[in-house]
Structure formats: C-alpha cells, structure tokens
Structure 1
C-alpha cells in the first residue's frame, strides 16, 4: 500500500517578530531554505526564522486554503490562532 503524500501549512516567526505562513510537502527542508536565504522573498531579510506551527492535510488544496485563510487574518487574529494572545514574552 502506497503512503499518501502529506501537505503542510506552516507558520514561521521571523527575527523581527512577524509571522509568515506557507505551504510545503517537507517542512524541515523548507525551514532550512528560508534560513539559508533561499525561501520566500518576504523572509530573506527577516531571518533567522523559527518554525512555530504546522498542520498536515491530505491534499494540497486543503493546505493552500489553510495558508490563504491565515494570511487574511489580522496580527491579533494570527496570535489568537497560534495560541500567542497575551504572550508578550514570545514576540
């Protein structure tokens, strides 16, 4: 039986405290790319980045929809989603 590929929505916290949400099939490889300056243009000048959230999905479409929903949130809503609301030491 073939293992279904997993698709991930992930969130990084940049060195400046901002959040970046993305999609990948290999979370650790993607985080390395971001920290090596080979990831998204947004994270290149904001490193190093730290992985703070991952969620696995069965399909690419589901993971991309999760990423899209996250990116539409306000900063406050993102903090609440990530369980960081009121956690001022982790900014």
Structure 2
C-alpha cells in the first residue's frame, strides 16, 4: 500500500478555481476502479492551504490515477498559479 499526503498553499484569488479543478479530476477518478485507491482533498482552516490524502494498492494503480488527464491539468494550473515553494509531498508508513 502506498500512502501519500500532499500539501500546498495557493493565493486567495486562486482558491475557487482550484476547488473547481479538484472537482473535475475527482469526477474522473470515479470512472476508475475505486477499490484500488482512495483520494481525498481537504482545505485547511486558513482557507488557502489544500491537503490531498491518497492511498494506492500498488505503483501501477498510482501511475494510472496520477496520469488521468484532468489530474495532470489540475497540477499544471495549480503549479502555474504560484505556490511559492509551499508544495510538499510526504509518504506515510502504514502501521
């Protein structure tokens, strides 16, 4: 099992667009085998920091999910919005 937390902070004026972009890829993820992965997104209390939690049964599933076109587009738009070095990826060990 692969468990990942990704966090990043966007500019206040990008929050609404980022939420829409997230919803787009979450809708597309529903077309995949949901028994093989879990993907949740949260907005922290500050209103500008997003936290993505995901787990995948294996690397093949992770690759399929993360290469969904709408997810790739979300990443591109998010990165172009100006994250100011706030992007952080953490791999978690299951206990």
What TM-score do the two structures reach when normalised by structure 2? 0.28
Q: Looking at both structures, which has the greater relative contact order when contacts are Cα pairs under 8 Å and sequence separation is at least 6? A: 2
Q: Which has the higher strand share?
A: 2
